[in-house]
Amino acid sequence: MNQPAILIVEDEKKLSRVLELELTYENYETKIAANGKDALQLLEEKEWDLVLLDIMLPELSGLEILRRVRRKDQHTPIILLTARDQVHDKVSGLDLGANDYVTKPFQIEELLARIRVHLRSQRKTNQETESLETGELHVDLNTRMVKRKSVEIDLTPREYDLLVYLLKNKNIVLTRDQLIENVWGYDYVGDTNVVDVYIRYLRQKVDKGFTENYIQTVRGVGYVIKDRRQ
């Protein structure tokens, strides 16, 4: 079984080092980000099983990181590390999608217990969402296999990521900017027309030759896949 990977986003060197040592001892894979920009880069490069996120960070606040992450990822558990007097920030963090918070100074045993709870909950969620589908279209998230009826569809990594994001947000019209940010990444610099190009590629593979088109254009807004119950 792979070690759960935990990202520690904390600018206090002594605290981040203690967390790293304790989590490593508990057989977790760890990485430290000491500022908001480094944290966003690490979140973009790798999937994490859990994130410990300090609210007060240089360059980019923990709440802003949380806001950006939750636009793309609604599932990864995020535990906020907060100061005792940050009541407003705790509330804001929970409203933005944080799963939990601990107040500094905290007992490491309490934090470890909360981490175990959220990792168990996440494993259960992952087991329940191993595939995505609408109508005849099916995506196996473990094998990355895409099928429509019994026909296997070969997608490039970017096409696959785009399809998965559309399916995870069925019935929600997604703008080009949302798709750029969540499929291409926070720091993508380029023309948003790239979305139209890849939607065209995806339609050629997913919809062409079938009577029903799953990928819909909402003129002037963006794109959507609507749920097709069989």
The predicted-structure confidence for 137-155, as pLDDT tens digits, reads as follows: 999 887 889 999 888 999 9
Distance between CA atoms of residues 83 and 89, nearest Å: 9
Tell the residue number behind the tokens 């279209």, with chain if given.
137
pTM: 0.60
Please give the Cα distance from 33 to 53 (Å, whole number): 9
Res 129: pLDDT: 59
Cβ count near 50 (within 10 Å): 23
75 in Cβ contact with 122 (< 8 Å): yes
Mean pLDDT, the chain, rounded, equals 88
| Domains detected in the chain | 5-128 (3.40.50.2300), 131-225 (1.10.10.10)
Q: Which helix (H) or strand (E) holds 42?
A: helix 36-45
The model's confidence at residue 124, banded by pLDDT at 50, 70 and 90, is low
Higher pLDDT, 149 or 20: 20
* Phi, psi for 125 (deg, rounded to 5): -60, -45
**Residue 177, beta-bridge partner list:** none
Q: What is the pLDDT of residues 85-117, one digit of tens each?
A: 777 878 888 888 899 999 998 999 999 999 998
Model confidence at 75: pLDDT above 50: yes
The pLDDT assigned to 2 comes to: 72
Q: Which residue has the tokens 């399809």?
A: 163
**One-letter-per-residue 3-state SS of 70-82:** HHHCCCCCEEEEE
* Amino acid 230: pLDDT: 45
